Chains A and B, each alone.
Chain A
Amino acid sequence: MKKIPENKNTSATLAVQTEITIPSYKVPVKFTLSDQKLISEMFENKSDLADCRLLVEYRRLGVQGGYNELLCLKELKNIEKYWYQIETVKKTLKYFHGRVLLADEVGLGKTIEAGMLIKEYLLRKMVKNILILAPSPLVSQWKEEMHQKFGLKFITTDDDIFQADPDKFWNNKFIIASINTAKSGRNFKKIVAKFYDLVVVDEGHHLKNRKTAAWKLVNEIKKRFIFILTATPLQNNLIELFNLITLLKPGQFKTEKLFRQEYMRKKNESSLDKKEKLKSLLRDIMIRNTRSVIDLKLPKRFASTIRVEPTDAEKQIYDYISTVSRDLSPSLPANTIRLLIREAGSSPFALKDTLIKLKPLIGDTANHILELIDKTKDIGKGKSLIELLQKNPQEKKVIFTQYLKSMDYCISLLSKHGIPFAEFRGNMTAEEKDAAINNFRENIPVLISTELGGEGRNLQFANTLINFDLPWNPMRIEQRIGRIHRIGQTRDVFIFNLSVKNTLEDYMINILENKINMFEMVIGEVEPILGYLGEDKEFENIILDIWLKSSDQKTINKNFEDFGSKLVKAKSEYLKSAALDKEVFGEDYEV
């Protein structure tokens, strides 16, 4: 670290040197009145005095008070709102005037807080256009969450419209952009030319360096409100925090030079001087809820993966699909290839419909695979599933699968073995879903659920989760676990993953479980760890690439091993930064 030169000028003398007349401004006030025609028309219909009196009283009663009552709470769907999130929203509106660093520890719902704030500002008609900047792998997740949980439709830089007409794209009111795309030359200029009522920056620690284009972009955007979201505002040193705060409130910590002089010891930038003053300045701009403050203590979690030996037919089918995918990957869209391999990983039955659709492209091999599927009655996972269900039959167990055909297989299997179960599918009505959950809670030991169906439902009265298949997105795996390992869970939680040997899922679960111990981590920690990978691609695309580019077992092993090492490094960096955050911030910034 470069040593700061000894400077005889203290901050006070510097302030004297720079004493200047600060201009004083008056806020421009603009009035908008209904036009005179509308006023004239009001005189056309004569009413009783009592009607007028009631109308005025009604309007008076309808006047919104302060921020003590949030308007957004009634509008939110499928969200469990916690008291600290509501308090965070109120505090941001009331005391921070919409400029805040939301730095909750992982897993406490920063996105939910940001979404509630967005919704609140929209309902109060205080914002008309919103720009959300997120790392590329999180763009689609933001879009989905804003739509599903907040009923807000955003367009994103992943959408076709962006590719088709980028100029038109930036004129939209609700945009989610990859920060990498946004900071590129042409887009940069377009973004900074506009005024945004609200800017949200996710994974704000990417703005730690003020020399980067990302920092410059956020600095130059004209905006009224800004929320910067990060669980790790400090990753290496206090200057990163200085840079983040300077985006929200330039001058809050004076200049970098003065900040270093005042708050950082020369030999160790991570340690603190004048701790209290720094804390007091940070309290003006940052909210950081921690697990200990909100008393979020969850029971232990135990995970084990059952590596299932495939039947001969299963193995053949999977090998065929892998070969076909590798051969067709240059010509078929990545989504189709991904779907094929994911379905094959779930069960051969899940694969059938897609294969039929792709027959013209795949040709005879497709027919051959279809024949094999039709002949398949049982698969390796089925036996393991039944064994798991028959252990402790009185314990409530949730089975998650991604595909309806795999779900149907599970249903027929359980029926055959006389195991009672409840079904939970995405296409059921709200009443049917409620009835299924109630039935599971009160009477039935097993719930079979599609991933889509299970989202947002709390099942903490059960303590065993069986992943019949595994999503390739680790955050989705966390969401599944979060259904039972959440506030209200009183018993230890058991997670069983079923993976067929030598499938892509098998390799994936190996690195997630054995390299970064994902199943022992706090829910929410995977996302920042993946952020430390520094990859612009989503996790599922990274592992798909590895799979498609590795033609034999040896290469697959090596490439996954290499990727696992990167993950280990990313986790270590994350842990280092989390420890630093804990040391610096403690529990002083909660709501």
Chain B
Amino acid sequence: MIDLYNFTIKFLRHNGAIAEEKNGALEAVFPADLAKTLKTDEYSDIVFSPDEKNGELMSFDSDLFKKLPKVFNEKGKFSAIKVPSPHIHIDKLKKRITDKIIFQNAVFSAGENEEKAISYLLAFFKFTAFSDERREGVMSILLNEFNLSSARFGLEQLDDLTEIFERPLKNTKKMDNEKILNALCAAPKAIAREELEDFIQSANRRLNRDTKRIHEYYRTLIAETLQFIEKKSLGQKEKANSLNKIQAIETELRWKTDDLITKYNIDIRIDPISFIRIETVAPIFWLTIKRRKLTRLFPLTYNPLLKNFDNLPCESCFNPGNIHWVCDDKAHIICDKCFKTCPKCAKNYCGACHKNRCPKCGFIDNDY
């Protein structure tokens, strides 16, 4: 990942400034409009240490850093590029399909193949998780707009691409926008959950540790009260009071437990940062997938960016994954997590068809 110093050089030069390195600082000449936006002098030194007084400070919490979004304004939110189609041997590739594609509960056969102009969307999101702690980060996903398969793909991987075509490709094959948008909104959830796995596990661990502590506390209080009732020769009234006390302790335990769960609640906010559409011409292999009496066609694509076949998509969470199932009702392709087993009645069901509600008993799985 680029550091602040090199980012600043890159940023300034991209925006028309001259930035020369000078003993760990930068000597910069700003174009008038950039200087005006950043409220700085046209000739200015940029320093990176708060101890350095002679110059404009650039640090993560400096005013200069915070002003940069004004320069971006609407820029940088969307871009489109083209990459050359790969030179590959189709027959050799076709033979590799059976190694690559495995369904847990369905069979398939590879049929026709063709070359088509397709596009990928490289999407960047920021996630921020709030609980009794806070965690944030930036994640990216590469979404195939033709078949909605997805893959993890970083910005750095774009550096390997050397050629960018000038003219847009004609007749690029895409899903309809609504489906792409749905996938774009679903995929980051699963990725954020993965990125935050240790954060969520830590909250779960602490919740259960605290739960154990308060249960032991209140249960011991109850045991002590019971001992008191047993040991003393109590009158009816005193006995009734002690029993009432036990009830009150139980009530308090219930709301203390609820309070704990609320305390650890995790809210994850996901905000889009930037989308890069990458167009290319790629080979497509049509698969015929069979599950019981259902059959469906699926276009398997060769990804020139990854230099491999695209994963099968999970048509429920759109998270990249390797284990796939096919649902009984609509032949959705779903990942292991979305081929759900109801915790209550043990029925298997498709997350794409039923989201997180068991179609048999109606149980809602909040861990979805």
Contacts and interface: CB of A to CB of B under 8 A. Distances in A.
B136 A18 contact: no
A49 B208 contact: no
Nearest to A71: B61
B117 interface: no
B204 A31 contact: no
B265 A32 contact: no
B200 A27 contact: yes
A55 B132 contact: no
A554 interface: no
B126 A63 contact: yes
B75 A39 contact: no
B274 interface: yes
Given A18-B223, A51-B76, A69-B60, 19 more contacts: A22-B211, A25-B211, A25-B261, A27-B204, A27-B264, A32-B269, A38-B272, A39-B181, A50-B14, A51-B75, A51-B79, A54-B76, A55-B72, A55-B273, A56-B140, A56-B155, A58-B11, A222-B259, A254-B216
Interface string A301-320: 00000000000000000000
Interface residues of B, number: 87
A31 B60 CA distance: 27
Nearest to B185: A33
Interface stretch (A244-252, A482-490, A499-507): A244-252
A64 B134 contact: yes
Interface stretch (B2-10, B21-29, B40-48, B325-333): B2-10
Interface of B: 1-2, 4, 7, 10-11, 14, 60-61, 65, 68-69, 72, 74-81, 124, 126, 128, 130-134, 136-138, 140, 155, 158, 164, 177, 181, 184-185, 188-189, 192-193, 200, 203-204, 206-208, 210-224, 227, 256-257, 259, 261-276, 366-367
Interface string A30-41: 111110101110
A334 B206 CA distance: 52
A32 B212 CA distance: 30
A30 B217 CA distance: 30
A260 to B, nearest CB: 11
A42 interface: yes
Q: How large is the interface on A (under 10, 10 to 19, 20 to 34, 35 or more residues)?
A: 35 or more
Given A18-B220, A32-B270, A258-B220, A57 B207 contact: no
Contact of A62 (B60, B216, B264): B60
A14 B79 contact: no
A96 to B, nearest CB: 10
Contacts, number: 221
A379 to B, nearest CB: 48
Contacts of A23: 211, 215, 257
B213 A251 contact: yes
A56 B124 contact: yes
Contacts of B193: 29
Nearest to B275: A42
A58 B7 contact: yes
A113 to B, nearest CB: 18
A223 B256 CA distance: 10
Contacts of B218: 250-251
Given A30-B268, A32-B270, A55-B274, A255 B224 contact: yes
Interface string A75-109: 00000000000000000000001100000000000
A15 B273 contact: no
A195 B210 CA distance: 19
Nearest to B77: A42
A225 interface: yes
A168 interface: no
B79 A49 contact: yes
A314 B68 CA distance: 64
Interface in A1-15: 9, 14-15
Of B75, B128, B140, most buried by chain A (CB within 10 Å of CB) is B75
A25 B65 CA distance: 42
A20 B214 CA distance: 12
Given A34-B272, A97-B206, A195-B262, A55 B267 contact: no
Interface in A208-258: 222-225, 249-252, 254-255, 257-258
B270 A47 contact: no
Contact of B273 (A26, A49, A59): A59
A375 interface: no
Contacts of B181: 36, 39-40
